[in-house]
Amino acid sequence: MPELRKASVEISSLMEESVPVLRDIFKTVSNVSELTLQIGESRPMWYFPGSTHWRKQNGFDLFHPLVEPGKDMLMFPNLRSLKLSMCFYGNALQDLICLLHHSPVIDSLHLIHVEGPSNYQRTLWLREAWHSKLPLNSEGNRNYAHFSDLQTGHKKSQVIKLLSSKKSSKRQKT
Protein backbone atom coordinates (compact mmCIF):
# COMPACT_ATOMS: atom_id res chain seq x y z
CA MET A 1 0.00 0.00 0.00
CA PRO A 2 2.42 2.69 -1.14
CA GLU A 3 -0.23 5.47 -1.06
CA LEU A 4 -1.15 4.88 2.58
CA ARG A 5 0.11 7.81 4.72
CA LYS A 6 -1.54 7.13 8.10
CA ALA A 7 -2.00 3.79 9.78
CA SER A 8 -3.39 2.65 13.09
CA VAL A 9 -2.77 -0.92 14.24
CA GLU A 10 -4.36 -2.26 17.42
CA ILE A 11 -3.45 -5.66 18.81
CA SER A 12 -5.31 -6.74 21.96
CA SER A 13 -2.53 -9.09 23.03
CA LEU A 14 0.73 -10.01 21.35
CA MET A 15 1.82 -13.59 21.70
CA GLU A 16 5.45 -14.42 21.08
CA GLU A 17 4.69 -16.67 18.14
CA SER A 18 2.78 -13.80 16.45
CA VAL A 19 5.83 -11.53 16.06
CA PRO A 20 6.40 -12.68 12.43
CA VAL A 21 2.81 -11.63 11.64
CA LEU A 22 3.48 -8.19 13.13
CA ARG A 23 6.53 -7.93 10.88
CA ASP A 24 4.27 -8.63 7.88
CA ILE A 25 1.99 -5.81 9.05
CA PHE A 26 5.04 -3.53 9.26
CA LYS A 27 5.90 -4.43 5.65
CA THR A 28 2.43 -3.29 4.61
CA VAL A 29 2.68 0.09 6.38
CA SER A 30 6.39 0.82 5.95
CA ASN A 31 5.72 3.91 3.80
CA VAL A 32 3.36 5.71 6.20
CA SER A 33 4.23 9.08 7.68
CA GLU A 34 2.05 8.60 10.80
CA LEU A 35 1.82 5.30 12.66
CA THR A 36 -0.22 4.53 15.74
CA LEU A 37 0.55 1.12 17.20
CA GLN A 38 -1.29 -0.19 20.24
CA ILE A 39 -0.20 -3.53 21.64
CA GLY A 40 -2.09 -4.89 24.62
CA GLU A 41 -0.60 -7.53 26.87
CA SER A 42 2.57 -9.22 25.67
CA ARG A 43 2.40 -12.96 26.25
CA PRO A 44 5.53 -15.10 26.02
CA MET A 45 5.14 -18.77 25.16
CA TRP A 46 5.94 -19.90 28.71
CA TYR A 47 3.08 -17.77 30.02
CA PHE A 48 0.46 -20.32 29.11
CA PRO A 49 -0.31 -23.18 31.54
CA GLY A 50 1.11 -26.47 30.35
CA SER A 51 3.66 -24.82 28.11
CA THR A 52 6.87 -26.78 27.68
CA HIS A 53 8.68 -23.77 26.20
CA TRP A 54 10.92 -22.22 28.88
CA ARG A 55 13.06 -19.13 28.54
CA LYS A 56 16.06 -17.99 30.51
CA GLN A 57 13.54 -16.52 32.96
CA ASN A 58 15.93 -15.75 35.79
CA GLY A 59 17.70 -13.33 33.45
CA PHE A 60 14.41 -11.87 32.22
CA ASP A 61 15.15 -12.89 28.65
CA LEU A 62 11.70 -12.01 27.37
CA PHE A 63 10.83 -12.03 23.67
CA HIS A 64 11.29 -9.12 21.25
CA PRO A 65 7.85 -7.75 20.30
CA LEU A 66 8.80 -5.50 17.34
CA VAL A 67 11.83 -7.20 15.81
CA GLU A 68 11.83 -10.77 14.61
CA PRO A 69 15.08 -12.37 15.86
CA GLY A 70 17.46 -13.18 13.04
CA LYS A 71 15.69 -10.84 10.60
CA ASP A 72 16.70 -7.35 9.52
CA MET A 73 14.54 -4.50 10.72
CA LEU A 74 12.46 -2.84 8.02
CA MET A 75 13.13 0.76 7.02
CA PHE A 76 10.43 3.37 7.62
CA PRO A 77 11.70 6.06 5.24
CA ASN A 78 8.69 8.40 5.58
CA LEU A 79 7.72 7.89 9.23
CA ARG A 80 7.45 11.30 10.90
CA SER A 81 5.15 10.53 13.84
CA LEU A 82 4.99 7.37 15.96
CA LYS A 83 2.47 6.79 18.73
CA LEU A 84 3.28 3.54 20.48
CA SER A 85 1.37 1.93 23.36
CA MET A 86 2.90 -1.28 24.65
CA CYS A 87 4.68 -2.86 27.61
CA PHE A 88 8.14 -1.27 27.58
CA TYR A 89 10.19 -4.05 29.21
CA GLY A 90 13.89 -4.36 28.32
CA ASN A 91 13.68 -6.12 24.94
CA ALA A 92 10.71 -3.99 23.87
CA LEU A 93 12.73 -0.85 24.54
CA GLN A 94 15.65 -2.26 22.51
CA ASP A 95 13.22 -2.92 19.65
CA LEU A 96 11.94 0.67 19.85
CA ILE A 97 15.50 1.98 19.64
CA CYS A 98 16.08 -0.24 16.57
CA LEU A 99 12.88 1.14 15.01
CA LEU A 100 14.10 4.70 15.65
CA HIS A 101 17.41 3.93 13.93
CA HIS A 102 15.42 2.72 10.90
CA SER A 103 13.19 5.82 10.76
CA PRO A 104 15.46 8.57 9.39
CA VAL A 105 12.89 11.40 9.30
CA ILE A 106 10.97 10.72 12.52
CA ASP A 107 10.09 13.96 14.28
CA SER A 108 7.54 13.05 16.95
CA LEU A 109 7.46 10.10 19.36
CA HIS A 110 4.70 9.43 21.86
CA LEU A 111 5.09 6.39 24.16
CA ILE A 112 2.56 4.92 26.60
CA HIS A 113 3.43 2.00 28.86
CA VAL A 114 0.89 -0.84 29.05
CA GLU A 115 1.21 -3.20 32.00
CA GLY A 116 2.60 -6.67 31.39
CA PRO A 117 0.53 -9.86 31.70
CA SER A 118 -2.18 -9.48 34.33
CA ASN A 119 -2.07 -13.10 35.37
CA TYR A 120 1.28 -14.15 36.82
CA GLN A 121 0.13 -17.60 37.99
CA ARG A 122 3.43 -19.40 37.56
CA THR A 123 5.78 -16.45 37.42
CA LEU A 124 5.02 -14.18 40.35
CA TRP A 125 8.73 -13.48 40.79
CA LEU A 126 8.93 -12.14 37.22
CA ARG A 127 6.76 -9.05 37.80
CA GLU A 128 9.83 -6.79 37.86
CA ALA A 129 10.72 -7.86 34.33
CA TRP A 130 7.49 -6.33 33.00
CA HIS A 131 7.85 -2.93 34.68
CA SER A 132 8.30 0.06 32.40
CA LYS A 133 11.87 0.76 31.33
CA LEU A 134 10.96 4.20 29.98
CA PRO A 135 12.91 7.08 31.55
CA LEU A 136 11.24 9.17 34.23
CA ASN A 137 8.97 11.85 32.83
CA SER A 138 8.32 15.33 34.27
CA GLU A 139 5.71 13.85 36.62
CA GLY A 140 8.22 11.39 38.06
CA ASN A 141 6.78 8.22 36.54
CA ARG A 142 7.67 5.88 33.70
CA ASN A 143 4.17 5.43 32.25
CA TYR A 144 4.47 7.74 29.25
CA ALA A 145 6.94 9.90 27.36
CA HIS A 146 6.62 12.38 24.54
CA PHE A 147 9.47 13.64 22.38
CA SER A 148 9.06 16.20 19.60
CA ASP A 149 11.26 18.10 17.15
CA LEU A 150 13.55 15.08 16.82
CA GLN A 151 14.98 16.43 13.56
CA THR A 152 16.32 19.52 15.35
CA GLY A 153 20.04 19.34 16.11
CA HIS A 154 21.02 16.04 17.67
CA LYS A 155 17.75 15.56 19.53
CA LYS A 156 17.00 12.14 18.02
CA SER A 157 20.37 10.76 19.09
CA GLN A 158 19.85 12.24 22.57
CA VAL A 159 16.48 10.51 22.84
CA ILE A 160 18.03 7.21 21.73
CA LYS A 161 20.78 7.66 24.32
CA LEU A 162 18.18 8.42 27.02
CA LEU A 163 16.15 5.35 26.09
CA SER A 164 19.32 3.24 26.05
CA SER A 165 20.36 4.12 29.59
CA LYS A 166 19.47 1.66 32.31
CA LYS A 167 16.46 2.93 34.31
CA SER A 168 17.56 6.50 33.84
CA SER A 169 16.69 8.88 36.63
CA LYS A 170 16.86 11.80 34.20
CA ARG A 171 13.56 13.44 33.50
CA GLN A 172 12.51 14.54 30.06
CA LYS A 173 10.15 17.27 28.96
CA THR A 174 6.66 16.05 28.20
Q: Do the Cβ atoms of 115 and 92 come closer than 8 Å? A: no
Residue 51 has pLDDT above 70, yes or no: no
Query: For 55-87, what is each residue's pLDDT tens digit?
Result: 444 444 577 788 877 788 889 999 999 999 988
R_g (Cα) of the chain, nearest Å:
16
Q: How confident is the model at residue 16, as a pLDDT?
A: 76
Q: Do the Cβ atoms of 33 and 80 come closer than 8 Å? A: yes
Q: Measured between alpha carbons, how far is 47 from 50 in angstroms, rounded to an integer?
A: 9
Residue 135 has pLDDT above 80, yes or no: yes
